[in-house]
Every structure is written in structure tokens, then in C-alpha cells.
Amino acid sequence: MRPWKLFVIFALALGLMAGCQQAAPPTAGTGEETAALGPKTLVLAGHDSFSVSEEVIAQFEQANNVTLQFLSLGDAGEALNKIILSKDAPLADVFFGVDNTFLSRALDADVFVPYESPLLANIPDELKLDPENRLLPVDFGFVNINADRLWFEEQGLPLPETLEDLTKPEHAGLLVVENPATSSPGLAFLLATICHFGEDGYLDFWRALAANDTLVSDSWSEAYFEHFTVGSGGAGDRPLVVSYSTSPPADVLYASDGRTEPASVNVNPPDGTFRQIEFVGVLAGTKEPELAQKLVDFMLSPPFQEDIPLQMFVYPANQDAQLPDLFVQFAEVPADPAQVAPEAIEANREAWIQAWTDVMTR
């Protein structure tokens, strides 16, 4: 036994770790530790679906002599809760990713400061849900139903056109949905059915769906990649899935066989789609309010907005932003999405989900 050997190994490992620490960008902070000489650091926190091009980030960093640091805080609900809990010692300067189902919770918690960005002028009024502009719309997307085009052609079955069609015997065992308690598209679809059938009728619809052998998955990834016939590459057995109107373009962009037309098509029943709007806001307590506002401006301006569709698969909020061809071709915006007020969602979320769970587990 030679203890010194152990020590050498120990020291080496620690050195390795220290090296890794140095190789990484500086740790977060709200700008306190940045020296006056180098670029300032601005922290942008978001949910884990946030993505952006290198080149777009570089544009902002160079123009403002700033280093952007990103934090990923979990899914949309988790991320917002973390932001609210850390109110007294903010994690970041700017937070992106509050959606309209969580808007009320975010505004009630009083964690964002108002900012009247000049770029709001280019954003349609229907997307602006906070009159005080504490949260500014960045993008929107539609939760809808995706169908396996070839499957329906082969079976000689017409695509469903209304929500009611989904409960017909010929559509038995075809649909997979997500659990609204654990998945945001799941909640969005539940909200659409509440809008369409009313608070008195939606549970009957879900009873009929359950009786029609509808499968419930806990997450979108599960539903899409494991059960949806297109998403799973043929291993799943559900040709209908609750997903997004922008999933078909992704089926082409991320194809493994070079296809030029998506294997899935959008089914947008009247009131059967739900618009999710995502917002950005400057966090109260930021030490760099001006830079934070500049970042918000940048996120609403065309360079960032035109990067959004193929990075995050949602539509840009700014009307001046050009849509990529794939979106124009395969991701038409649904005609009449369901409308549910954010206040109503926050007030009834638990009761609606509980009632839904009771019906679906009976």
C-alpha cells in the first residue's frame, strides 16, 4: 500500500475538474463580478426548449459589448415557478418562456417590470395580453392534431374534421393525447375542448374519447416519438396525435430519408386548436436594466424573430419577420383557435385537471 499514489490520483482528478471549471464561461451573477474593462454579462433564463442560432447571438453581443449567458430552468411551468421563488435574489436579468396558460400566475407574482418596447408597434394587438407590458409577446404556436397522411390514404379513411369526429367508431384506437397535468400541449388541448363544449359538456366529450380507446401519454415526447406512427418511424400504432401545427415542417427538416413533403398533415378542427403565446420580460431586480431592455428589443426585432421558426418551431410575433418556405407550405395558421382567458385558466386549472383525471381513470 502506498498512500501517496492515492493522493496523486486525487490531486490529478481535482486538477481535471478545476480545468473543466476554467474552460467553461464565467459563472452566473447579475453582473456584480464583472470588471469595468471587459464586456458586461447579461443572463437570459428560459425553459429547456429555448434555442437560438450562434450567429444571431453574436450579433447582439458585438453590438452591445456584452456576453450573454443562458440558463435552462426546466419545462415552462417549472421554469416560471423557479423565477417566482427566486424573486428576492433573481437568477437572471431577462426571462423568456411564460406562455398564456401561465400568464396570470406570472403577473400576480409581480416579478417583471414594465417595458414599453418600440418594437411592440410591429406586433399584432391580439398577442399583447398584458396592458402594462411587463410581459411582451415573442412568438406563438398552435396545439392541434397531426395525422399520418399515408395511413389514412391506405385505409381509405377520411381525416377527422371536427372534434366530434374523434369519438366516432371509425376513429377508435387512433388518437394519442397528453396528460394535461404534466404536459403543456395536453393542457392546451383540454382547454380547447372546454372552449368548444363548454364547462358543462367537455367531460362528456372526454368520456366518449376514453370509451373510443384514446391513449393518454404523460408527455409530448412520449406521445409523438413512441406512439404516433409518423414520429416513431412506424413502431407506434396511433395515426393521430395532439401536437403542433408546426410539426409537419419539422418532419421534412429533420427527415432521415430526404423527403420533401411531410408524412404528417395538420388537422385543425373548429375550436379544436389552441394558441400558445410565449412572452419575454425584464426581471425586477436586474442590475442592468438598460441592457436587459436592449435584449428584449433584440428578441422582438427581425434578426431574432426570423431565427425563431426553425430553431423553436413556432411563429414569430413580429409581422415584419419573413417566414421560411417550409412554414408557408406546410404549417398553415389554423382559422379559428379556441379562446380561453388567462385569468380563467389560472383560476380553474386545478379543478379542470382534477375533473379530467377522474373521468379518464374511471
Chain positions 35 to 64 lying near another protein, rule: CB under 8 A, are: 43, 48-57
> 3-class SS at 165?
helix
DSSP state of 44: E
DSSP state of 27: P
**Does residue 284 bind another protein (CB under 8 A)?**
no
Task: Round to whole Å and give the CA distance between 126 and 119.
Answer: 15
Give me the least distance between CB of 43 and another protein, in Å please: 8
**Does residue 237 bind another protein (CB under 8 A)?**
yes
For residues 42 and 123, which CB has a smaller minimum distance to another protein in the complex? 42
Residues numbered 241 to 270 that lie near another protein (CB under 8 A) are: 243-244, 247, 250-251, 253-257
Give me the least distance between CB of 125 and another protein, in Å please: 29
Q: How do beta strands 274-283 and 315-316 pair?
A: unpaired
Residues numbered 112 to 171 that lie near another protein (CB under 8 A) are: none
Amino acid (one-letter) located at 314: V
Task: Give the other-Cβ count within 10 Å of 101's Cβ.
Answer: 22
Give the burial string for 333-344 (b: 16+ CB within 10 Å, else e). bbeebbebebee
Residues numbered 291 to 350 that lie near another protein (CB under 8 A) are: 310-311, 313, 349-350
Size of the site for another protein (CB under 8 A): 84
CA proximity to 219, closest of 184, 252, 247, 173 = 184
* Binding residue (CB under 8 A) for another protein from 67, 162, 232, 329: 232
Give me the least distance between CB of 122 and another protein, in Å please: 24
Give me the least distance between CB of 167 and another protein, in Å please: 19
* Binding residue (CB under 8 A) for another protein from 85, 172, 284, 341: 85
Q: Which residues contact 320 (CB under 8 A, 6 or more apart)?
A: 122, 302, 305
* Binding residue (CB under 8 A) for another protein from 59, 71, 207, 302: 71
